[in-house]
Amino acid sequence: MLAYPFPRESEVSCVLSGAAGLGIQTVEDMLARVVVDSGLCVFGSREYMSRVRGGNNSTELRIARSRVDALVDRMDILVAMSRNVRVNILERIAPSTVIIGDRAELGTELDDAGGVFVQAPLAELAAEAGGRIYSNSVAAGILLGILGLDPARAGEFFVKRFAGKKPDVAERNTRACNAGYEIGRELVDGKGLFGKASPDESVGRALVNGSDAVSLGAMAAGCNFVTAYPMSPATGVLSFFSQNAERAGAVVEQTEDELSAINMAVGAAYAGAKPMVTTSGGGFALMSEGISLAGVVEAPVVVHLSQRPGPATGMATRTEQADLELALYSGHGEFPRAIYAPGSIESAFLLTQEAFRVAHKYQTPAIVMTDQYFVNSFYNLNPNDLAMLDELPPVRETGADYRRYEDDPSGCSPFGVPGFGEGIVGADSHEHDEVGHVYEDFKLRKRMQDKRMRKLRGMSDEAVAPRLYGPEDYDALVVCWGSVIPIFREALSLLGLERTALLAFEQVWPLHSSTGGLLERAKRVITAEGNSTGQFARLLRSHTGVKASGSILKYSGLQFSVEEAAQRLSEGIAGKGGDS
Amino acid sequence: MQATQFDLPGVDISWCPGCGDFKILDSIKLALTELALTPLDVVVVSGIGQAAKTPHYMRSHFFNGLHGRALSNATAIKAANPSLEVIAVGGDGDMYGEGGNHFLHTVRRNPGITNLVFNNMVYGLTKGQASPTSQVGFRTPVQVDGVHSQPFNPLATALVLGAGFVARANAGDVEETKDIIKQAINYRGYALVDIFQPCVSFNKVNTYAWFKENTYWLEGHDEKDFERALALSVSDAPYPLGVLYRGTERTTFEGSLAAYRLDDTPLFRRGARREALKEIIGYMSV
C-alpha cells in the first residue's frame, strides 16, 4: 500500500519547518546523528529568521548513500511543525513532495499546497508521551520510520543529549519518537527507504559545520587569542573558543565593540599571541581602522568575516557574498593582505590554518570569508580528512641590537616580542623607522612602504591555486568563489555539459598566477556569485584583463540551490542568461 | 632631572617648550627607575595625541596605536603576557573622548595595567578645540560660544565602575606625581592616574598658576573610604590631588582567564594544542 510518492533512489531531501523554540534544532541534531550512525551521509543547511521565538525557520537534511554537500530546492519530505509556513518553503513544494503535518496545528493551510498531505497526530501523540513539547520528537520518529532507520539509535541520542536533565526528559522524547516511528513505518509499509542499507563503516562520523571548521582550523594553527563582539552569523567561532578556552589555551573575550576586538587582536599579536577576531560585515566595517593598524605595525591577525546581506544591518540572519570588496579594500592606505573563501568544511579547516600561516610569515592581516549559509551548513566527514599544516615556528629571541622593522628583501622583518630577549620591541601606527619610532622622512616613508608591499610578491607566489572541475579542454568556464562552489559543481554535473568546466577560487586575494591563463583559455567565462554587482568578476577583470561574458548573481538573502544554479547555468551557457 | 636607563638619547621631542608633558615624562621615568624596572620589563602603550607621543620619548618596549584604542591594545598585551608591566598613556581627548567606551569597559574588566591620563582640558594636537574635560564656558575656535557640555569626570566614573585605584596628580609636582605613579604600578589591577597638565599653547585658562590655585594635596585621607573618595571626586575647585581610593585588590582580567587556569606560560611560548583538538573533533563523532 505505497500510496505516497517517496523516492526510491539513493538520496532523500527532508525539510523541517517550524517556529523557533519548538526544538527543531534537537530533532535536526538527532536525525543527523542517527543517519551517520546508520552508515549514511547527511548534509544539513539551515535558514532562520532574526527572532528568538516564533516565526518559521527551516532545516534541510539531504540524506544519501554517498557524500552530498550542497543545497537543493527539492523537498521529498516536508515536515511542517507550525502554521504560517513561509513562502520560500511553499514555493518549493512539488507534486511529489510528501507533507507531514498535524491539522490540529496547521488547519487546512497545506492541504492544497501542491504536495501530498499526510495527516499526522503530532500533538496528540506528543501529549500521550508526556506533553505537547514532544511533538518535535514525534515528527522525527515519523521520519526515522520512513527512512527505515533504527529508532533505538534515537533513544541513545536522547539519553546523551539530556544527560544533565531529569531522566524522564530523555524517556519522554524516546516515547514520542517511537510513537512517530510506527506512523512512519506504516507510511512505507515497513519498507523504510534506507532500510536495506548495510552500515558503511567508511562513512565519516564527525558532524562538522562551517563555523566549527573555521574554529578547529584556527585551533590547529595554534590560535590562542579570540576577541569578538557577537554578531550573526559569526558568533559560533566566539562560542567555540569560549567553550574550549582552557583546552585550547586561548584567551577569549567578548569585547565592548568591534573596535576593541580588533585592537585587542593587534595588541595581542604584538605580544606574540596568535589572535583571531570573528565578525560579520557590519562589525568588519568598524574594524577597518584596526585592520589598517595591523597593516602598518605588521601584526599577524586573522579575521573571520562571515557575510550576511547589507548595506548596514541588511538581513541579519540571511546569506550573501557581498563583502569581498569590503575585505579587499577595508582600511585606509595601502598594505598587503590575504583573503580566503573556503567552499567546503575540509577547506575551511585547512584554509584557516593557511590564513594563520600566511599572516605570521608575512606579518600582515589575513581574512577568512564565509557566510551565513556556509557557517550553518554541516556534513559528516572523516576526521582523518582534516589536513593539518605544519605548526607555526616559535617566536625567536631578540638580540640587544634588535630592530623590529629591519629592511629585508622579502619584506618580512625579524619578528620579536616584548619580554623575550634583550631587544626593545616597538610598534607604531605612524610611519616609522626601523626601530618603530615615528620619524617624518620622505625617503624613510618610501623605504618602509616598499618593504611592506614587497610581501605581496611572496604571498602571490604562495597563493592557493584555483581548482578546475571538469574537462581541461573547456570552451566555457564557470567561475565562482567560496560557499557557492559545491552548489555550482553539482549543478554542472547535473547538466552534464561536455565542454564546460568550473574554476573554483578559495583564495581570492592575492590571486594565483595561473588565474589569467585559465580564464584566457575559455571562449566564454561566466561568473557566479552571491551579490548584485559581480564583485569577484570585477576583481578578475582588473587583475587579469579578462571580462566575463556573463554573470549569475543572487542576492535575495537565500543561497543558490543546485536546481536554480543548473537552470541559470544552462541559460547562461546558452547565452540567454544575464545579470539578475 | 637625574639620568635614567629609560632616557632615549638624542630624541627630538615635539612638545611645546614649557608643556606639562615634559614633567610627566620625568615622573614616569623616575617612577620606573625607583621601582627597579628595566626598559625590557615595561611596555608603554598609547593612542594618538600629544600625550600619546610619550613612548617615543623614552626607552622601553612601546606600542603606539590608534586614537582612543590604547586601552584595548594594553589590555591585550597584558593578557597575552601577564609578566609584562603595561602602562597605557594618553591625553583626555584620547582616553575619555575617542576612547570613552574602552575606558568604561577597561575599568570594568580590571586588567593589571596602569592608565596615566595627561589631562590638559583641551585638544593640543589639533590646535585648541574643546576636550571632554574642558570646563563649561571654555571658548575655542570651534566652541565659539564656549563649551556647553558638562565636563567628563574620570575619577567619579572610574570609581562607580569599580576601579580599585583612582588618583589625581599635578604635572607641576614631579615628586608627588612620581610617587603616585609608583603606587599605581604597584597596584594589582586597573589603576587610573588622571594628571592635571597645563597646555601652554592652547589653554590660556587652566595654566600652571590656575592649577596651583585650584588644587590641593590630600592629607590624612583614608584611601579605603569609598564614599569619601566619591565625594572628593565630584567636588568642585579646589580639586583634591593624591590617591582618592585604593580598594581591596580583586581578580584581574588576565587572572580570570581560563587560558591560564592550568598553564601560566605567556601566549607567545604556546604551540598548537593538537591533542586537545583531536579530542574535540572526537566529540563531534559521537
Tell me which H or E stretch contains A458: helix A442-461
pLDDT for A3 equals 53
With an 8 Å Cβ cutoff, are A224 and B84 in contact? Answer: no
CA–chain centroid gap for A422, Å, is 44
Angle between helices A210-220 and B274-283 (to 10 degrees): 160
With an 8 Å Cβ cutoff, are B81 and A418 in contact? Answer: yes
Mutate to test the interface with A, among B66, B84, B86, B262 (most CBs of A within 10 A): B66
pLDDT for A2 equals 42
pLDDT(A579) > 70 = no
Nearest one of B118, B94, B98, B115 to B15, comparing CA atoms: B118
pLDDT(A580) > 60 = no
Bridge partners of A58, per DSSP, are A17, A47
With an 8 Å Cβ cutoff, are B81 and A425 in contact? Answer: no
With an 8 Å Cβ cutoff, are A263 and B69 in contact? Answer: yes
Q: Is B45 on the interface with A (CB under 8 A)?
A: yes
Q: How large a percentage of chain A has pLDDT more than 90?
A: 91
Q: Which residue of B has its CA nearest to A208?
A: B284
Classify residue B74 by burial, with Cβ atoms within 10 Å: 0-12, 13-18, 19+.
buried
Single pTM value for the model = 0.97
With an 8 Å Cβ cutoff, are B258 and A425 in contact? Answer: no
Q: Is A391 on the interface with B (CB under 8 A)?
A: yes
pLDDT(A1) > 50 = no
Task: Report the gap between the CA of B130 and the closest CA in chain A (Å).
Answer: 24
What does the alpha-carbon distance between residue B209 and residue B195 come to, in Å, rounded to a whole number?
15
Nearest one of A52, A72, A53 to A62, comparing CA atoms: A72
With an 8 Å Cβ cutoff, are A253 and B259 in contact? Answer: no
Nearest one of B68, B75, B230, B71 to B157, comparing CA atoms: B230
For residue A32, which phi and psi values (nearest 5 degrees)?
Answer: -60, -45
With an 8 Å Cβ cutoff, are A255 and B285 in contact? Answer: no
Q: Is B178 on the interface with A (CB under 8 A)?
A: no
pLDDT for A197 equals 60
pLDDT for A576 equals 56
Q: Which CA distances in Å does A371 have to A69, A237, A304?
A: 15, 13, 10
Q: Which CA distances in Å does B262 have to B188, B255, B258, B265, B276?
A: 21, 12, 8, 9, 14
Provide the grid cell at B95.
Answer: 582616553
Q: What is the mean pLDDT of residues B52-67?
A: 98
pLDDT for A578 equals 47
- Residues 57-86, chain B, touching A (beta carbon < 8 A): 59-66, 68-69, 72-77, 79-81, 83-84
pLDDT(A4) > 70 = no
pLDDT for A199 equals 65
**For residues A166 and B194, which has the higher predicted lDDT (pLDDT)?**
B194
Task: Report the gap between the CA of A63 and the closest CA in chain B (Å).
Answer: 17
Task: Report the gap between the CA of B204 and the closest CA in chain A (Å).
Answer: 29
Alpha helices, H only, B240-283: 274-283
Least CB–CB distance from A263: residue in B39, B65, B81 = B65
CB–CB of A258/A212 below 8 Å? no
Q: Is A444 on the interface with B (CB under 8 A)?
A: no
What does the alpha-carbon distance between residue B6 and residue B64 come to, in Å, rounded to a whole number?
17
Q: Is B167 on the interface with A (CB under 8 A)?
A: no
Q: Which residues of A touch B63 (CB under 8 A)?
A: 267, 270, 297, 426-428
pLDDT(A177) > 70 = yes
pLDDT(A572) > 90 = no
What does the alpha-carbon distance between residue B196 and residue B121 come to, in Å, rounded to a whole number?
8
For residue B168, which phi and psi values (nearest 5 degrees)?
Answer: -130, 140
Q: What is the mean pLDDT of residues A170-186?
A: 96
pLDDT for A480 equals 98
Helix-, strand-, coil-residue percentages of chain B, each rounded to 5: 35, 15, 45
What does the alpha-carbon distance between residue B195 and residue B177 come to, in Å, rounded to a whole number?
8
- Residues 202-241, chain B, touching A (beta carbon < 8 A): none
Least CB–CB distance from B65: residue in A253, A293, A386 = A293
Nearest one of A558, A461, A507, A477 to A347, comparing CA atoms: A507
pLDDT for A118 equals 94
Mutate to test the interface with B, among A256, A392, A404, A405 (most CBs of B within 10 A): A256
Q: Is A419 on the interface with B (CB under 8 A)?
A: yes
Q: Is B147 on the interface with A (CB under 8 A)?
A: no
- Interior angle at CA A187, CA A182 and CA A189, nearest 5: 90
Banded model confidence at residue A168, pLDDT cuts 50, 70, 90: very high
pLDDT(A577) > 60 = no
**Sheet-wide strand order for A476-481:** A467-469, A500-505, A476-481, A524-529, A550-553
Provide the grid cell at B23.
Answer: 614633567
Tell me which H or E stretch contains B244: strand B239-246
What does the alpha-carbon distance between residue A493 and residue A491 come to, in Å, rounded to a whole number?
5
Q: Is B39 on the interface with A (CB under 8 A)?
A: yes
Tell me which H or E stretch contains A468: strand A467-469
What is the interface pTM, i.e. ipTM, of the complex? Answer: 0.98
pLDDT(A314) > 90 = yes
